[in-house]
Structures are given as C-alpha cells and as structure tokens.
Amino acid sequence: MSIISNILSNTSLWELMVLAAVIYIATQPELRKRITKLKFGQFELELQTLKQEVEKGKEKIVELESEIENDRRQFDDILQNFDPHAPVSQLAEARQAIIAEARNLSETDSLADYLRLSASAEELYVAAVSIREKRPVSMLPGLIRFLDELASDSQLGGFRLNTIWTLTSGLHRTLIACIRDGITPMPDQQTLAYAQQVLLKLNNHPKVRADRPDAPLKGIQGPIKHAQTWLDKAITGANNSEL
C-alpha cells in the first residue's frame, strides 16, 4: 500500500487516466482492433501515443520501486554497522552516515516503520537522526503518536535518553519546517493540539525530568520547550485569523 501511495503521489491525473483507458482497451480484444484514437474532453490522442505514455508510466513505477528498495538496503547496511549503546561521542561516524543517507532519501516509509515500541535501538536511532535531518512534515502525525506511546511507557520504551532527545529535536525541527518555512502539508489544528498534549505528557515523565537535572534545557526538556513554542505560535496564529 505504501508503494502504491508513493506512485499515486508522483503520477499526474492525466497519466492515471491514460493508464486506466489503455488497461480497459487491452482487456477488450475486439475493441482493440477498431480503436485507433481516444478522446478525453477536448483532448484526442492516437492510441500509439497512449501506449507510449503508459510505457513511460511503467518506467516511472519501476524507477520509484528501485529507489525505495535502494533506500532500504542503505539503511540496512547502516543498522548492521554501529552500536547504538556506545557513548555519544563514539556515534559521530554512524550519525554522519545516517545524515548523508537521509538527505538523499526518496521516501519516508522506511523511517515510519521504525517508529514503534518494538523497534530495535538501532532502528529508532536511525529514525531519530534521519527525521531531525530530513524534517519530513508528512510524518508529523505518526511521530506525534509515537511520542505519545513513549510518554505512556514507564521506561520510555527502554530506549536511551539521547535517542529520545534526538527524536524530540526532530519534532522541533519539523515543526519549524511547516510553521515557519511553509513546507506542506501543514498539520491541522487538531494535530497541533494533540502535539501540545503529548509534549506536556512527555515533559512530565519521570525519566525526562531526571535527564540533565543540572541543566534541564540541555536534556530532553530543551527540544520539548522549543517545540511547544512553535506549536503555540501556530495555534495562536490560526485562532487570530479566525477572528
């Protein structure tokens, strides 16, 4: 289903109409013999032209599937070559490899698959670093839901605090991307309000409160506070525009 979604988002309505028309004709042998042209509204195309368009569509599908598969292989290679429990200072090389791959990522489904409590420490770290770098606005609803799951777990899913910090910082950066920079799709007001509730819940988690007690804003509470600031701006701005 995710591959179909990617294909639809990268294919124009015209190409879909063409594909549907040719598929129908292909299933009707007698009709195929008689038709040399098809007309859509004011547009009339030779059947040969339609066939060429369909071939281009097939090539695009194959290319997209190849890109998705390559992205997954690249992340699989990274997952097998670092220790997510190593000191943060020793994760620099792995972090740079993840960032480099995230910049060239053609889809975010592989990252979404890692946002679950049953994910390995490696998978969630890859997702957290990638989201922080990529700022995928389309992933906001899923990211918020996952942070809610983490906040509901007494052990934060058993993940290390640095990974939770990176994930929360990723939320902060992604909110900046849509609220300040106008990258779409902009989440609706219900999603923004839900994000506020989740961040408050996460901020009150005992493990989060215990992170960097000497300097709380350098721990997970830091990106939570920054994310809350942007959420306040978005919600206040929307309310003012309705007045």
pLDDT tens digits along 122-166: 999 999 999 999 999 999 999 999 999 999 999 999 999 999 999
**Cα–Cα distance, 137 to 170 (Å, whole number):** 10
Q: Enter the pTM of the model.
A: 0.72
**Cα–Cα distance, 56 to 46 (Å, whole number):** 16
Q: Which residues contact 131 (CB under 8 A, 6 or more apart)?
A: 111, 139, 143, 167, 170, 171, 174
pLDDT reported for residue 31: 47
Question: Among 18, 10, 24, which residue's Cα sits nearest to residue 48?
Answer: 18
Q: What is the dihedral of CA 110, 154, 174, 185, to 10 degrees?
A: 70
Written as one letter, the residue type at 219 is G
Query: Which range is least confidently modeled, 68-77, 189-198, 222-231?
Result: 68-77
| Residue 88 or residue 173, greater confidence | 173
| Residue 130 or residue 20, greater confidence | 130
**What residues does each domain of the chain span?**
1-76
Q: What is the mean pLDDT of the chain?
A: 82
CB 7 within 8 A of CB 64: yes
Burial 165-189 (b: 16+ CB within 10 A, else e): bbbbbbbbbbbebbbeeeeeeebee
219-232 per-position pLDDT tens digit = 999 999 999 999 99
**Cα–Cα distance, 146 to 111 (Å, whole number):** 12
pLDDT reported for residue 43: 47
Mean pLDDT over 16-35 rounds to: 56
Percent of residues, the chain, with pLDDT higher than 90: 57
